[in-house]
Amino acid sequence: MDMIKNKIKNLLPIKSKVFLSYLKNINHNPYNLRSLKIQNSSISDFFVFDRDCYQLSFVAENIRALLLGEKVEVKHNFIFFSSEGNVLHKKIVCSSEFFTKINLEKFKNFDKYSSFIHFVESEYNLDNFLIKNQKNTSLKLYEQNRGYSIYYPNPNSSGTIVHGNFGGIRKDLKMIAKRSLLSHVYTPIYKFNKFSDYDLVFNNPTSKNLKIKISLNNSKKSYDIEINSMGTKYFRVDNYTGSISYESKLPICRALIFKNPTPNNSGTLDVFHS
């Protein structure tokens, strides 16, 4: 039977294989069906902005320069959103470096925690690189713009660095992240300690409101939050020791954890995924 299945698979076009694989894992696939048809689009992770940091910087990568092994001029674009999911501000930085450290300004209308995306524009098309290097493929490729945020709680801090949350947001603000039909429970492999405070920061990269149930497993208490599309919310945890679980219809639902959050001049801030 396995031999027959393998022969049938070999006869199928690559696009059919991708589509069937998507259907097989539909309840666990983080992207919607539309994502299979993306062309010439730039996709961003979803990053968290902390208003009360002394400084927040972003390390942006230049994929074109990295692929070519030489400097290529690009535009690093940033779009910032309020906690309710509304566009607050836009920023553009031009650079030809392989990696660029960019300081992000704070504005009065920023909430305690908000979110932003980052995408790159350039006259150099990545498809040209594939053609030049004879990298033929029948699949449509898209550019994944990642990066790292550095949070400085005070002027003397060396900063704490972390990558973005799961995003899947196009530069035209179309969202390819999806909610699944089934709920997923995620429990970080981390023991929270009552001697520290924590902000669990969630953002919503989908086109609809997102409900998340937060369970403090050792106290058997649970709390519900709801986040607008492109919005951000946080949940403060203090005087608690044990594990915490998140239940939602996101296949990937991980909070960005701010341990001993800002304002913090004691040097104990830590920001991490778990």
Provide CATH code, domain 184-272. 2.60.290
Token pair in block for residue 206: 């989908």
Residue by residue, DSSP assigns 200-252 as EEEE--SSS-EEEEEEETTTTEEEEEEE-TT-EEEEEE-S--B-EEEEES-SS
Q: Check residue 11 and give its pLDDT.
A: 46
pLDDT at 182: 82
Percentage of residues in the chain having pLDDT higher than 90: 60
Is the C-alpha dihedral spanning 107, 108, 109, 113 positive or negative?
A: positive
pLDDT band for position 14 (cuts 50, 70, 90):
low
- Quick one: pLDDT band at residue 79, thresholds 50, 70, 90? very high
Cis amide leading into 153 (omega within 30): no
Handedness of CA 257, 260, 263, 268 (dihedral sign): negative
- Show Cβ contacts of residue 44 under 8 Å, excluding neighbours closer than 6 positions: 117, 118, 119, 145, 164, 167, 169, 170, 171
* 21/84: higher pLDDT: 84
Average pLDDT, the chain: 85
pLDDT tens-digit series, residues 174-196: 888 777 778 889 999 999 999 99
* pTM, rounded to two decimals: 0.86
Quick: pLDDT tens for 37-62: 655 567 899 999 999 999 999 999 99
Domain ranges of the chain: 1-29, 30-170, 184-272
The 10s digit of each residue's pLDDT in 110-147 is 999 999 999 999 888 776 666 666 555 555 567 888 89
Q: What is the pLDDT of residues 234-272, one digit of tens each?
A: 999 999 999 999 999 988 889 999 999 999 989 899 999
